[in-house]
Amino acid sequence: MECYREELVEPVSPMGQYFNCSVLCLNIIAVLEFEVPIDDLPIASFTRDVFLPINPRFSSVMVSDKHGKKTWKQVEVRLEDHIITPKFPDGMSTDSYEKCFNDYLSRLAMEQLPQNKPLWEVHQIIYPTSKAAGSLIFKVNHALGDGYSLMGVILSCFERADNPSLPLTFPSRKRSKPKFLNRNIFMRLPQLASIFFNSISDFGCGLLKSRVVEDDKTPIRSGDEGVEFRSFVISNMAFSMDHIKEIKSKLGVTVNDVITGIIFYGLRLYMHDIDYESRAACSRAIVLLNTRNVAGYQSVKNMLNKDAKGPWGNKIALLHVSLPKLRDVDISNPLQFVSKVHNMVQRKRKSFAVLLSGMLLEMQHKLQGHEAAAKNLHSTIRKTSLALSNMVGPVEQIAMANHPLKGLYFIFTGEPESLAITMMSYMGNGFVTAGTIVFKLNHAIGDGVSFFRALKELTIPPFL
Q: What CA–CA distance (Å, rounded) separates 111 from 107?
A: 7
Q: Minimal CA–CA distance to 350: which of 248, 201, 185?
A: 201
Residue-level pLDDT, tens digit, the chain, 464 residues: 445 444 557 889 888 999 999 899 999 999 999 999 999 999 999 999 988 988 889 999 999 877 778 899 999 999 999 999 999 999 999 999 999 999 999 999 989 999 999 999 999 999 999 999 999 999 999 999 888 888 778 777 888 999 998 888 887 665 545 454 455 555 666 666 666 666 777 777 767 766 778 899 988 888 888 888 888 888 888 888 888 888 888 888 888 888 888 888 888 888 888 887 887 788 999 888 887 766 666 666 666 666 555 577 788 888 888 888 877 776 777 888 888 888 888 877 777 777 778 788 888 888 888 889 899 889 889 999 999 998 888 889 999 999 999 999 999 899 998 889 999 999 989 888 888 876 543 444 444 445 666 566 666 554 44
Q: What is the set of domains in the chain, with CATH numbers? A: 2-160 (3.30.559.10), 179-392+415-458 (3.30.559.30)
Strand segments, DSSP code E, in 150-193 are: 159-160
* Non-local CB neighbours of 10 within 8 Å, separated by 6+ positions: 56, 57, 60, 71, 72
Q: What CA–CA distance (Å, rounded) separates 226 from 332?
A: 37
Q: Minimal CA–CA distance to 129: which of 91, 85, 94, 90?
A: 94
